[in-house]
A and B are shown apart, each in its own frame.
Chain A
Amino acid sequence: MICMFSNVRRYLKSLFSITGATALEGMQQPVTFLLVFTCLELTVLQPMLQLHTLGEGGRLTRDSGLAFMLVFGIFIALFTSGFTLSKEISGGTAAAAVSKPVTRSTFITGKFLGALTVIACFAFCQTFAILFAERCSEHYIETKQFAGYIKDTGCGIAAIAVPAAALVLAAFMNWWKRWRFGLWFFLLLMAAQAMLFFVLGFFARDGKLLSPANYEFAMNFRIISAAILILMLLMVFVSLATAFSTRLHTGAALAVSFAVFFAGFIADSVFGGGNYIARSIYALLPDVQHFWVVDSLAAGGSIPIIYVARVTLYAVTYSLFVLLLGAISFETRDLS
């Protein structure tokens, strides 16, 4: 019993160690910072630039923000999982790691979890950004004194300033104390966004200060379900990129991951209702349509919790399946 406990502890320790190192390396990659920063700024700038919204400013902002989350997330996943793992395998880092008392499956799992950590941090920040952007976007307001469309410019400016402030502070700390820039950018960004989230509750959409009794977030929390679904989709993509990188070179791994992912977009319409071969192909491909349900949020709609739970279960099962295949593939390959 003690022996088993000790083995599990050793396994978890090595797993966390690989996960931590991968996450740290992923966050330290300059391209991760560039992608995250660009995505957040585009999301929060978008409602500020809209002129012709036809009364659908909120929807435009929400849809764009979630689309940015998906597209930028895919690229972050590509670079943190696929690119890094391929490079580690071809560069000999993987060989050095598995020559230690670390199994190959632990190595692959650690790599997957590390990349997922980066993606989760990105999703956390981007969800906040979409919430802020949606609040900032044009909404119809009717009060005793005013009736019409209004933009929460204050919220927009604050949301634009937060990533910039995190960038400046992380850069300053890197200069002053030599703190790791990428890691601290993420940490400061998450902290600053959480702070802004709570501070905004003290302000109405028109910028007026509210009394503590009237404290309200004035944000569309239905976005969170859609964001969780996109995070799940990104998790599936990370598992694909990790699995393919165990066998293919960088470019090929990225291309094949992307191709499978793209096939997942059309899987439902092309293979969904065909013969058993088509159905088998459909079962093997990730059905991306399950995850993209942002239209449900239109006109006050929401995504049921049970749906989110089911899709999460599907994503976790599918990712584990892909990861298992990746681990089997990695077990049998030569590392030289």
Chain B
Amino acid sequence: MEKTYNNDAAVAATNLTKIFRDFWRRPKKLAVDDVSFSIRRGEVFGLLGPNGSGKSTTIKMLLGLLRPTSGNVSLFGMSPEKRQVREKVGYMPELSHFHLYLTPRETLRYYAGLFNIPARDAEEKIAYLLDKTNMTEAGDRPLGEFSKGMARRVGLAQALLNDPELIILDEPTSGLDPIGRHDVKELIKELAAADKTVLLSSHLLAEVEDVCDRVVILCDGHIGAEGSLSELLEKRDLVRMTADTAYEEQITSVKHDIEKDGGKVLLDRPAMTLEEYFLEIVKQEQKGESSK
């Protein structure tokens, strides 16, 4: 039967179901259960869920690595297995498996070959990506000597090598230090600004919250919630006001007025997140200034 695809969306998953079967072809595990969503072009989309919720299986189906038991997947209106589609997609897997004896530069050259990028363009692109992922200095060391975080950076660089229109990042910040995580988030924002479509899978909610426009939350293989972050997170019956401490008296007066009417007001001092504080300290250290 001929499949139909949605041409407007970068990614369209329709009634996607994946059942893993045993040797006798009996259902062993229902990994993804009737999942439908679409990602618009230029959108940063989050695929959230706890471990074992079906995020990676969904991504593998989107990439054509696994075949759906039922349902449809289309990328840019075509089957994900089409060569034209694969040329437009960059994928960073959850675990970066590379040939350990190759250096990052050699690894990227290999992938450049696979994407048929001319040698000169490839060298320029590789230099740019190594710089972008802070790997320039380590570019000629064998990957076998790298930490997990450094290998993830190489994984990210290879995902961006073909200048993809759709970037699929499976747990992109796993194994990265806070600076690396921050860099990845910045990179995602840059990609979004460049009108690229980004599909981000993660169970670290803070980072998703910072960068994603819309999310799908998977629970046990089916969709628990879907929508834009503002729709999902906004508490519509509450209002928050933040002001300088110079206006503390006026604020206290407003608080009294509201309480007089029977309303409830919570006043507190906003705190930095630990990540923001950590980044500030590291930046100061790097500038040679002591934060003591």
Contact = CB atoms under 8 A, between A and B. Distances in A.
| A touching B, CB within 8 angstroms | yes
Interface of A: 174-175, 181
A50 B23 CA distance: 37
Interface residues of B, number: 2
A299 B23 CA distance: 49
Contacts, number: 4
4 contacts: A174-B23, A174-B24, A175-B24, A181-B23
Nearest to B24: A175
A276 B55 CA distance: 65
Nearest to A175: B24
A267 to B, nearest CB: 35
Contacts of B24: 174-175
B289 to A, nearest CB: 36
A23 B24 CA distance: 25
A215 to B, nearest CB: 42
Contacts of A181: 23
Contacts of A175: 24
A171 to B, nearest CB: 9
Interface in B1-54: 23-24
Contacts of B23: 174, 181
Interface in B172-208: none
B156 to A, nearest CB: 23
B27 to A, nearest CB: 13
A63 to B, nearest CB: 37
Interface of B: 23-24
B138 to A, nearest CB: 18
A181 B24 CA distance: 12
A176 to B, nearest CB: 10
A89 B264 CA distance: 60
Nearest to B22: A178
- The 4 lowest CB-CB distance pairs between A and B, nearest first, are A175-B24, A174-B23, A174-B24, A181-B23
B237 to A, nearest CB: 49
A336 to B, nearest CB: 10
Contacts of A174: 23-24
A29 B25 CA distance: 19
Nearest to A30: B23
A30 to B, nearest CB: 10
A181 B23 CA distance: 11
Nearest to A181: B23
B144 to A, nearest CB: 10
A175 B24 CA distance: 7
Nearest to B26: A175
A321 to B, nearest CB: 33
A174 B23 CA distance: 9
A7 to B, nearest CB: 37
Nearest to A178: B22
A181 B22 CA distance: 12
A174 B24 CA distance: 9
A156 to B, nearest CB: 31
Nearest to A176: B24
A1 B253 CA distance: 78
B18 to A, nearest CB: 21
A175 B28 CA distance: 12
A175 B22 CA distance: 9
A84 B24 CA distance: 26
A175 B23 CA distance: 9
A175 B25 CA distance: 10
A107 B132 CA distance: 44
B25 to A, nearest CB: 10
A130 to B, nearest CB: 31
A175 B21 CA distance: 12
A16 B24 CA distance: 32
Nearest to B28: A178
A34 to B, nearest CB: 14
A264 B21 CA distance: 46
A57 to B, nearest CB: 39
A334 to B, nearest CB: 13
B106 to A, nearest CB: 20
B252 to A, nearest CB: 56
A142 B164 CA distance: 84
B174 to A, nearest CB: 16
A174 B26 CA distance: 12
B100 to A, nearest CB: 10
A179 to B, nearest CB: 12
A184 B234 CA distance: 57
A232 to B, nearest CB: 36
A201 B45 CA distance: 74
